[in-house]
Amino acid sequence: MDYTPVLQQIEHELKPVIGQGRVASYIPELAKVSPHHFGMAVVAIDGSLHTVGDAHVPFSIQSISKLFTLVMALQLEGERVWDRVGREPSGTPFNSLIQLEAESGKPRNPFINPGALVCTDILCTRYAVPENAVVEFLRPLSGNKAMHYNRAVAASERRTSHRNAAMAHLMKAFGNLANDVDEVLDAYCRHCAIEMSCVELAHAARFLVHGGTHPGDHAAILGTSLAKRINALMLTCGTYDAAGDFAFRVGLPAKSGVGGGILAVMPGQYAVCVWSPALEPSGNSLAGSLALERFTTLTGQSIF
């Protein structure tokens, strides 16, 4: 299917709403990003690329990195990851302390901040510089050998990471964090500050379209069963506490980030990424969510 005309129609339809919403101003460096960007990229399972707008412009992937740190944690620990992180939707904001306290320091899922901190802790145990390990994991998947994290964004996020620090210390008190809290927070803020474009993110997710194997070089990233389970977690937990509504409207497994990106997959068909920095209250891109809803409506392709 030629997705390019569909993307062009979506961009045209959404012009009145692009820029509506608010950028993630609680991270000072992200507050500087124009809310009027819009880009979208689809990479089909055969490798064909379809783009519109700012699809090649790098942006801060933020919580989309949680998808890849989970994959790396599963590569290292396998099913033991679930001893420390749950698999249920949170129903609360991604940085909630109340739920974490009530449930004895075990995060509901790996896509909210405390769950991602546990996955980062696993990487800190294995790698001397875990944030660089995440970058090295993503470079061949994305096709960008020069990709890295933005030091200014990472430093800005680290300076304002008081709630993340509170969650990390709480989990440490419950025995669910093995490494030094500051070390984990440093690595977490840096992998959230990785910069990628829609095109690069869509390429990087192709292994989830292809049953855990990268269709380009046939490298086995995950087993088929784990790839299926990650897609299920993306559907139920990947878009913060709006996951149910997102599944209802869009019908694709997805992971969003407060940088304005949303990465989604249609198993067996394509990976799609959209970027528009202005967010709706749950932390998902306002125009990006609408774009993906229109995409599955116009193509008639979703998992349902």
The Cα-based distances of 168 to 97, 110, 134, 159 in angstroms read: 10, 14, 20, 15
188, 199, 272, 276: which one is catalytic?
188
State yes or no: is 26 an active-site residue: no
Cα separation, 285 vs 277, in Å, equals 6
State yes or no: is 118 an active-site residue: no
The label of the residue with tokens 């460096």 reads 29
Strands across the sheet containing 254-256: 49-53, 39-44, 270-275, 261-266, 254-256
60, 63, 142, 256: which one is catalytic?
63
State yes or no: is 240 an active-site residue: yes
State yes or no: is 255 an active-site residue: no
Q: Are 274 and 201 in contact (CB under 8 A)?
A: no
Which tokens hold the place of 43? Answer: 């990479």
According to DSSP, the residues that pair with 42 across neighbouring strands are: 50, 272
23, 65, 66, 172: which one is catalytic?
66
Q: How far from each other are the two terminal CA atoms of the chain, in whole angstroms?
A: 19
258, 265, 272, 274: which one is catalytic?
258
- Give Dmax over CA atoms of the chain in angstroms: 53
118, 134, 149, 240: which one is catalytic?
240
State yes or no: is 184 an active-site residue: no
Active site residues: 63, 66, 188, 240, 258
